[in-house]
Amino acid sequence: MIIFNSIIRKKVSKIILVFVFSLGFSFSLITVSNAENTVGVLIAAELSPVNKTSVLEIRRLFLGLPSSSDNLIKNTVINLSDPVAYKDFLKNIMHMTDSGYRRKIVKRIFRQGGKKVNEIDDIEEIVNYLTDNPYDVSFMTANVAKKTKGIKVIQVLW
Amino acid sequence: MLISTIIQRYLHISGVILLSRIIKSTVPFFVLVLLSPISVADIHISGYASVAAGRVTNGNRFLSDYPNAGVYDRDWSFSPDTSIGVQLITDVDDKLEFVIQAVSNGATDYSVNLDWAYINYQLSSEVTIQAGRKRLPLYYYSDFFDVGYAYYWIRPPADNYTWQITHYNGLSLQYQPYIGGWDALFNVYAGREDSDDNELLSFLSAASVDETWKNMVGIVAELSKSWAEFRATYMQGQLDRSVNSIVTDQNVKQKFSGVSVNFYVNELIILSEYNQYERPTSDIHVNTRMLSLGYQFGAYTPHITHSALHQRENQAGGDENHNTSSIGIRWDYNKTTQLKVQFDKVKDKGITIPVLGDSETLSFGLDFVF
């Protein structure tokens, strides 16, 4: 009986150990996946020659303002396919609300003769656009970027 | 249904006329572009349209658009506040671009005028220089006065925007740094504008008035964040005027100064502006002020505004003095289209210089950008 109990206890301990390990592993996977969901990256076409630049320069580019020529970036594309990523982009990079951002863009266009900032709400279209315009950039979560073919990550934004 | 049909027919007819006029006015630009090594892909097109209809419900006339002398009367009219603009930008190379903006206003019988026609050269990522024709950046909304989409009213408060010269031909230098978390803009400009048969002055004096603003030098400084905007402006120059070809003023010094403070606190919007215009030798001292509150309930923004113009009484009897109280609502139909309703009540207290008397006006507007 004692032996039987000891075997049972060992088995239960093993099961608990496996369960705890699996739980921990799953949790770490979820954490990594969540982190990737909340990490935003700057992307360009796979063969794009554009370089890393400061977040300040990226903010200027997304306002439609000229940027230094060192980064080779010509235009930007606002990714509207993921509302959460767009919200994070506004919060972390532009430091403004959607209405504030739109107000700023319209004023700049009709006040200073600025160019429109492109908006695309479909990942496939973004990839196609970037492939056709290798000097242009957009943003998305690291998770989506990992799964998307035809683009490369230039740098982490947030 | 009937209104919708009328609007559609109106838009169709006026759209075709406007488009043909805008194409005519921009032909030289396209010829230039076609003769140059620029490809069509390098041309960026943007535009806006504001279609507004209104009528005076109490009183006789309401001067809604001072620069273009747009006037509502007792009959429904689309003309005073309707305008359409098309902007073309073409890159010559990484640093040089041509910019033109053709605008057609209902108030000027839909004639097409060039709002902008200038070359822009990028000296650095933060500094650009422009040469050519631009809008005169006196007031906060001066640069985009006709772009109804950029504000919640049907038109910027009329008492504030009583300027007869809206453009200049000259040079402009812009510096746009990012200072301590604030977007900044510093603009220095110089130029002149000759306005034959000036719309506003000819309308108000019922005579042909030619006006020139020359030796203009001005500066605009602006700081903005998502929740606040601060703007200061100063301009000085000289004025020449002739009425029915008889010179009445020459080399008269004038100066303009103004400040604007706007706040966007969550859904609450607070807009304010104060300006001063002076022609000391003619003993003309005018101040204009405006305070507006708006609150954004999702897609709807109701607003209330009070604006006023006051001229200090002088020996010539100058006593222009009027104010307007407005309430209205903007509905953001989608990201590029807005619908608006507005009611304006004007009190005209000028005795020697009344403008158009007291009035109450109801107007509806549709604004979009493309």
Q: What is the pLDDT of residues B115-144, one digit of tens each?
A: 999 999 999 989 999 999 999 999 999 999
CA A131 to chain centroid, in Å, comes to 18
Q: Does A116 touch chain B (CB under 8 A)?
A: yes
Q: Which of B193, B174, B143 is nearest to A106 (CA)?
A: B143
Kindly state whether A87 is in contact with chain B, defined as any CB-CB distance less than 8 angstroms: no
Pair B193, B115: CB distance under 8 Å: no
Judge: B44–A116 Cβ closer than 8 Å, yes or no.
Answer: yes
Q: Do B225 and A95 touch (CB under 8 A)?
A: yes
Would you call B297 an interface residue with chain A, using a CB distance cutoff of 8 Å? no
pLDDT band at B1 (very low <50, low <70, confident <90, very high): very low
CATH classification for the domain delimited by A40-156, as one of 2.60.120.1030, 3.40.50.300, 2.60.40.10, 3.40.190.10: 3.40.190.10
Q: How many CA within 13 A on the CB side of residue B137?
A: 30
Place of tokens 């093993």: A14
**Do B99 and A67 make contact, defined as CB atoms within 8 angstroms?**
no
Q: Residue A15: how many CB atoms within 10 A of its CB?
A: 10
List the domain boundaries for chain A.
1-38, 40-156
> Please, which pLDDT band fits residue B101 given cuts at 50, 70 and 90?
very high
Q: Is A113 in CB contact (< 8 Å) with chain B? A: yes
Which residues are within 8 A (CB) of A40 and not within 5 positions of it... i.e. 6 or more apart?
A: A85, A88, A89, A92, A93, A139, A140, A141, A142, A156, A157, A158
Choose, out of A56, A75, A101, A112, the residue to mutate when testing the contact with B (most B CBs < 10 Å): A112
pLDDT at B363 over 90: yes
Tens digit of pLDDT for each residue in B45-62?
Answer: 999 999 999 999 999 999
Indicate the residue of B94, B144, B264 with minimum beta-carbon distance to A111: B144
3-state secondary structure of A81: coil
Residues of chain B contacting A66 with CB distance shorter than 8 Å: 122, 125-126, 128
Is there a contact between A66 and A60 (Cβ–Cβ < 8 Å)?
yes
Q: What is the pLDDT of residues B164-213, one digit of tens each?
A: 999 999 999 999 998 988 999 999 999 999 999 999 999 988 999 999 99
Number of Cβ within 10 Å of residue B318's Cβ equals: 18
Which residues lie closer than 8 Å to B121 by C-beta, 6 or more apart? B95, B96, B128, B129, B130
DSSP B162: -
B-facing residues of A in 29-68 (CB < 8 A) are 56-57, 59-60, 63, 65-68
Of B87, B176, B226, the CB nearest to A97: B226
Q: Is A32 exposed, middle or buried (0-12, 13-18, 19+ CB in 10 A)?
A: exposed
Pairing verdict, β A118-120 and A77-79 = parallel
Cβ atoms of residues B321 and B313 within 8 Å: no
Which tokens hold the place of A153? 């990550």
Q: Is B152 on the interface with A (CB under 8 A)?
A: no
Residue of A nearest to B128 (CA): A66
> What is this structure's pTM?
0.83
pLDDT at res. B326: 98
- CA pair distance A2, A96, nearest whole angstrom: 69
Q: Is the CB of B298 inside 8 Å of chain A's CB atoms? A: no
Q: Which domains does chain B have, with CATH numbers?
A: 2-369 (2.40.160.10)
Give the HSE-up count for residue B21: Cα atoms under 13 Å, Cβ half-sphere.
Answer: 20
Does A110 contact B225 at a Cβ distance shorter than 8 Å?
A: no
* Residue at token pair 């972390």: A92
Which of B231, B230, B248 shows the shortest CA–CA distance to B239? B248
Is the C-alpha dihedral spanning A26, A32, A38, A40 positive or negative?
negative
Q: Does A102 touch chain B (CB under 8 A)?
A: yes
pLDDT tens for chain A, residues 1 to 158: 555 566 667 776 776 766 666 656 555 555 555 555 689 999 999 999 999 999 988 998 999 888 776 778 989 999 999 999 999 999 999 988 888 898 889 988 988 888 889 999 999 999 999 999 999 999 999 999 999 999 999 999 99
Whole-angstrom Cα distance, residue A109 to residue B102?
14
8 Å CB contact of A116 and B144: no
Residues of chain B with C-beta less than 8 angstroms from the C-beta of A83: none
Min CA distance, A95 vs chain B (Å)? Answer: 7
Closest chain A C-alpha to B38 CA, distance in angstroms: 17
For residue B48, the chain A residues in CB contact (below 8 A) are 110
Q: Which residue of A has its CA nearest to B140?
A: A111
Q: Count helices and strands (H / E) in chain B.
A: 2, 19
Is B46 within 8 Å of A115 when comparing Cβ atoms?
yes
Q: What is the pLDDT of residues B206-256, one digit of tens each?
A: 999 999 999 999 999 999 988 999 999 999 999 999 999 999 999 999 999
